[in-house]
């Protein structure tokens, strides 16, 4: 099974990268850009079909490596 994990910043954490991208888009005359959030996406292939077990594994992967709980939130999507 393929799983997509999207890691983004928690609400209230200033995103310097997003602000910089927004500034550059404005300089390129995209005046209607109001906000840019940067997210990182991981698409992971995992063997097995037990979705509950896979979801538990994904949560541990996030906790142990993919996120820093101080600044990050994440969303998980199962892609069949």
Partner 1 sequence: MQSGSIWGDSMDRSEIKVCVLRIEGTNNEDEMYYAFKRLGASPELVHLKDLKDIFDYNCLMIPGGFSAGDYVRAGAIFASRIRARMANDLHKFIDEGWPVGGICNGFQVLVELGVLPGFKRMDYPDACLFLNNSARFECRPTLLKHENKGKCVFTQNIPKGEVMLVPSAHGEGKLLFPREKEKEYFDRLFENDQIVFRYVDKDGKYAGYPWNPNGSAHNIAGICNEAGNVFGMMPHPERSYFDKNNNGISGMKVFESVLKYIEEK
What is the contact surface with partner 1 in residues (CB under 8 A)? Answer: 10, 12-17, 19-20, 63-66, 68-71
Angle at 76 between CA 66 and CA 53, to 5 degrees: 90
8-state DSSP, 15: -
Task: Output the smallest distance, CB 42 to partner 1, in A.
Answer: 9
Task: Output the smallest distance, CB 36 to partner 1, in A.
Answer: 12
How many angstroms separate the CA atoms of 13 and 50, rounded? 35
How many angstroms separate the CA atoms of 76 and 80, rounded? 13
Residue number, 13 or 79, with CB nearest to partner 1: 13
Residue number, 12 or 48, with CB nearest to partner 1: 12
């Amino acid at each position: 099974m393929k799983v997509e994990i999207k890691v983004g910043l928690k609400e209230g954490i200033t995103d310097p990268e997003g602000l910089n991208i927004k500034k550059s888009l404005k300089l390129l005359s995209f005046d209607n850009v109001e906000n840019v959030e940067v997210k990182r996406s991981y698409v992971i292939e995992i063997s097995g079909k037990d979705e509950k077990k896979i979801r538990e594994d994904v949560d541990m992967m996030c906790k142990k490596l993919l996120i820093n709980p101080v600044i990050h939130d994440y969303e998980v999507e199962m892609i069949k």
